[in-house]
Structure 1
Amino acid sequence: MLNGIGAPLRIPLFRRIWSASLLSNLGLMIHGVGAAWAMTRMTSSADMVALVQTALMLPVMLLAVTAGAVADMFDRRIVGLLAMSLGLTSAATLSVLTHLDLLTPNVILIFTFLIGCAMALFGPSWQASVSEQVPPDTLPSAVALNGISYNIARSFGPALGGIIVATAGAVAAFVCNAVLYLPLLVVFFLWRRDVEPSRLPPERLGRAIVSGVRYISHSPSLRIVLWRTLATGICGSSVLALMALIARDLLGGGAQTFGMMLGAFGMGAVIGALNIETVRRFITSETAIRISVVTMGLGLAIVAVSRAPVLTAAALVVAGAGWMLAITLFNINIQLSAPRWVAGRALATFQAAISGGIAMGSWFWGHIADGFGTDYALLFSAAALLLTPLLGLWLRMPAAGSRDEQTVDPLADPEVALSIKGRSGPIVIEIEYRVDPQRAREFYGVMQEVQASRQRNGAYGWSIARDLGDTHLWTERYHCPTWNDFLRQRSRATRLERQLFQTASDFHLGIEPIRVRRMLERPFGSVRWKDETPDRAPDLLPAQANVVSGV
Structure 2
Amino acid sequence: MSGSPPGAFAPLRQTTFAVVWAATVLGNTGTFMRDVASSWLVTDLAAGPAAVSLIQAAGTLPVFLLAIPAGVLSDILDRRRFLIAIQVLLAAVSLSLMALSYAGLMTVTALVALTFLGGIGAALMGPTWQAIVPELVPQREMKAAVALNSLGINIARSIGPAAGGLLLASFGAALTYGADVASYVFVIAALLWWKRPAKVDEPLPEEFGGAFRAGLRYARASRELHVVLLRAAIFFAFASAVWALLPLVARNLLGGDAGFYGILLGAVGIGAIAGALLLPRLRAGLSADGLMLTAALVTAGAMAMLALAPPRWAALAVLMLLGAAWIIALTTLNGTAQAILPNWVRGRALAVYLTVFNGAMALGSLGWGALAEGLGVPLTLLVGAAGLAVVALALHRVKLPVGEADLVASHHWPEPLVAEPVAHDRGPVLILIEYRVRKDDRAPFIRAMHRFSAERRRDGAYGWGITEDAADPEKLVEWFMVESWAEHLRQHRRVSRADADLQTVALRFHAGPEAPVVRHFLGLGKS
TM-score, normalisation: structure 1 = 0.91
Aligned 1:430-449 pairs, distance under 5 A: 430-449=432-451
- Offset of residue 428 of structure 1: 1.0
Q: Which residue of 2 aligns with 1:43?
A: 46
Matched, 1:285 2:281: no
Identity across the alignment (%): 35
Instruction: Choose from 350, 353, 374 the match for 1:350.
Output: 353
Q: Indicate how the Cα distance of structure 1 residues 376 and 7 shifts in structure 2: closer, same or farther if over 3 A, else same.
A: farther
- Offset of residue 198 of structure 1: 5.0
Moved more, 453-462 or 298-307: 298-307
Give distance in 2, aligned partners of 1:273 and 1:524. Answer: 58
Matched, 1:306 2:282: no
Mapped contact 2:61–2:358 kept (Cα < 8 A): yes
Give distance in 2, aligned partners of 1:419 and 1:130. Answer: 37
Moved more, 74-83 or 191-200: 191-200
Aligned 1:201-212 pairs, distance under 5 A: 201-212=204-215
Mapped contact 2:289–2:396 kept (Cα < 8 A): no
Instruction: Choose from 151, 160, 167 the match for 2:154.
Output: 151
Give distance in 2, aligned partners of 1:233 and 1:348. Answer: 16
The root-mean-square deviation of aligned C-alpha atoms, in Å, is 1.9
Aligned 1:316-355 pairs, distance under 5 A: 316-355=319-358
Q: Indicate how the Cα distance of structure 1 residues 134 and 16 shifts in structure 2: closer, same or farther if over 3 A, else same.
A: same
Q: Which residue of 1 aligns with 2:462?
A: 460
Give distance in 2, aligned partners of 1:189 and 1:439. Answer: 61
Instruction: Choose from 439, 462, 474 the match for 1:472.
Output: 474
Deviation digits for residues 116-145 of structure 1, max 9, x if unmatched? 111110110111222333344443332232
Give distance in 2, aligned partners of 1:68 and 1:212. Answer: 9
Give distance in 2, aligned partners of 1:50 and 1:323. Answer: 19
Q: Which residue of 2 aligns with 1:388?
A: 391
Instruction: Choose from 412, 416, 419 the match for 1:417.
Output: 419
Matched, 1:110 2:113: yes
Q: Which residue of 1 aligns with 2:429?
A: 427
Q: Which residue of 1 aligns with 2:223?
A: 220
Instruction: Choose from 407, 410, 419 the match for 1:408.
Output: 410
- Offset of residue 419 of structure 1: 4.9
Matched, 1:100 2:103: yes
Deviation digits for residues 475-534 of structure 1, max 9, x if unmatched? 011111111111111111111112222333332223233211111122423xxxxxxxxx
Give distance in 2, aligned partners of 1:217 and 1:137. Answer: 30
| Runs (5+) with no aligned partner, structure 1 | 526-551
Mapped contact 2:408–2:496 kept (Cα < 8 A): yes
Give distance in 1, aligned partners of 2:270 and 2:198. Answer: 37
Give distance in 2, aligned partners of 1:237 and 1:510. Answer: 58
Give distance in 1, aligned partners of 2:199 and 2:80. Answer: 13
- Offset of residue 378 of structure 1: 1.4
Q: Which residue of 1 aligns with 2:170?
A: 167
The structure in which a higher percent of residues are helix is 2
Give distance in 1, aligned partners of 2:199 and 2:221. Answer: 27
Q: Indicate how the Cα distance of structure 1 residues 91 and 197 shifts in structure 2: closer, same or farther if over 3 A, else same.
A: same
Mapped contact 1:293–1:388 kept (Cα < 8 A): no
- Offset of residue 364 of structure 1: 1.4
TM-score, normalisation: structure 2 = 0.95
Instruction: Choose from 195, 218, 242 the match for 1:192.
Output: 195
Q: Indicate how the Cα distance of structure 1 residues 430 and 349 shifts in structure 2: closer, same or farther if over 3 A, else same.
A: same
- Offset of residue 339 of structure 1: 1.1
Q: Which amino acid aligns with 2:407?
A: E
Mapped contact 2:426–2:523 kept (Cα < 8 A): no
Q: Which residue of 1 aligns with 2:182?
A: 179
Give distance in 2, aligned partners of 1:393 and 1:3. Answer: 32
Mapped contact 1:249–1:374 kept (Cα < 8 A): no
Q: Which residue of 2 aligns with 1:547?
A: none
- Offset of residue 352 of structure 1: 1.1
Question: 2:520 is paired with a residue of what secondary structure?
Answer: strand
Q: Which residue of 2 aligns with 1:126?
A: 129
Question: 1:466 is paired with a residue of what secondary structure?
Answer: strand
Give distance in 2, aligned partners of 1:502 and 1:136. Answer: 28
Question: 2:389 is paired with a residue of what secondary structure?
Answer: helix
Q: Which residue of 1 aligns with 2:490?
A: 488
- Offset of residue 172 of structure 1: 0.9
Mapped contact 1:304–1:376 kept (Cα < 8 A): yes
Matched, 1:29 2:29: no
Moved more, 406-415 or 199-208: 406-415
